Structure 1
Amino acid sequence: VDKRTNRLGRGVILVASDKLTVGNSARMRKWVLSETKKKEIDLTIDFSNTRFIDSADLEILLDLSKEIRDRGGNMTLLNVDRKLRSLMGLVELDSWIVFQDK
Structure 2
Amino acid sequence: MNAPTVDVLDFYRALQDVSERMLQAAEQDDWDRVVEMEEACAVLIEQLRAQGEAALSPEQRAEKHRIMLAILRHDARIRALAEPWLDVWGDVGLGSRSVLLH
Q: Which has the higher strand share?
A: 1
Greater C-alpha Rg: 2
Structure scoring higher RCO (CA < 8 A, sep ≥ 6) equals 2
Settle same-fold status: TM greater than 0.5: no
TM-score normalised by L of structure 1: 0.34
